[in-house]
Chains A and B, each alone.
Chain A
């Protein structure tokens, strides 16, 4: 029997004290221990982006991280982005307005990734789509596509995902 590791996670503002097998991924804690099943397990190897969450504001693949690595950190999942119980986050609303999903399995990851991506652009982080790395990034369609390349959609709703993000970016 593996010794359990004691950690605290702050998930969507709520503090959770957990005793975990150290093998437990951050994704498994969210889904199986905290019943936050909005975040999805797709490939489980960091290639599809369905498990994307924010840790202290940075988006990561929660499948490729041990929960124990995040002791004391703040996790934001799809369940934690709406401003209130009866109001959607603007990007959630834009996904509905633009019909930016079909089966919906990748959607939570797409929305978390999109929110983080807009913050990254505001912070001036470059991408390979930039002609000039030193300049402030312009949010062109090419930039949005490049910055969202870590989130796959097997229904190929990409044009509508792009439109939803463009709507919120321009708002």
Chain B
């Protein structure tokens, strides 16, 4: 790990301002950042610890939704009575990921801001446009079985690893942000992450100097909430493919560098199409590099199964 200075953020505005400096990183749970710093993929010279900021609350929101503080841990969120009762999709998505040890530290905003787990992003002996812009992509043509099938580019085929983001996308949740001047805005979780295009190193639409303070979840639509995740082992593994359903809304995980709202499937179903048509509407555009090609069939079957389950049909 490269040397860095360490301080606690004085307040939320100072924490936001600190992110304007590209050599500064905010430290919350640290479960991803510290790992990346050990590998010298992240080499900040200044660490600002934000764990003492008052951003941990999970509160009922006016109008029937729930507001989750940026620093609420996965354990706190998944154990919260209102989340378990009204947003089982959120609790299920969190409990399906990581271990208890990690969930006791990992935070809501950190979950959304975590980096990809593409093996070639982690392997500093290999080119990676996300890690070193312009260096190339070793995943394309490599052992890319965990990489993406939707929204990939010639520069990057990585996927975003968050299960929570997939659940929040199906729930139409937004993140609340603030900058150092106290300007507040809302960004839909579905729009927070960027697809790689030609610039995979630009990962979110959160500019330097602006931080997430909370996640706002509106009242859930009528209908079953479902989270299904396919992975290499039954626990403590990232998704190969996941599908979240909240009433008539569906989102896919493990397939793209962002949580993938299945708007084409939703539109096909709303127009009276059957499940197969709805699945094809979303996934006919899927493209899998070599070892990731199996994900196309996996995603089709899982999405079809979840749509049938949510509509009360035989799976």
Query: Which residues of chain A come closer than 8 Å to B135, judged between CB atoms?
Result: none
Contact partner of A22 (CB less than 8 A), chosen from B6, B96, B236, is B6
Within 8 A of A (CB), among B81-139: 81, 84-85, 88, 91-92, 95-96, 98-102, 104-105
- Would you call B75 and A46 a contact (CB within 8 A)? no
A42 at the interface (CB under 8 A from B): no
Query: Which residues of chain B come closer than 8 Å to A92, judged between CB atoms?
Result: none
Query: Which residues of chain A come closer than 8 Å to B5, judged between CB atoms?
Result: 2-3, 22
A39 at the interface (CB under 8 A from B): no
Measured in the bound complex, the distance between the Cα atoms of B146 and A36 in whole Å is: 39
Using A127-B95, A128-B92, A133-B91 as known contacts, say yes or no to A149 and B27 having CB atoms under 8 A apart: no
Measured in the bound complex, the distance between the Cα atoms of B8 and A132 in whole Å is: 40
- Would you call A125 and B75 a contact (CB within 8 A)? yes
Query: Which residues of chain A come closer than 8 Å to B98, judged between CB atoms?
Result: 150
- Would you call A59 and B104 a contact (CB within 8 A)? yes
B315 at the interface (CB under 8 A from A): no
Measured in the bound complex, the distance between the Cα atoms of B234 and A65 in whole Å is: 26
A17 at the interface (CB under 8 A from B): no
A58 at the interface (CB under 8 A from B): yes
- Would you call B30 and A66 a contact (CB within 8 A)? yes
Measured in the bound complex, the distance between the Cα atoms of B49 and A58 in whole Å is: 19
Using A126-B79, A146-B235 as known contacts, say yes or no to A64 and B35 having CB atoms under 8 A apart: yes
A159 at the interface (CB under 8 A from B): no
B199 at the interface (CB under 8 A from A): no
- Would you call A124 and B79 a contact (CB within 8 A)? yes
Residue of chain B at shortest CB distance from A54: B104
- Would you call B100 and A65 a contact (CB within 8 A)? no
Report the minimal beta-carbon distance from B110 to chain A, rounded to whole angstroms.
12
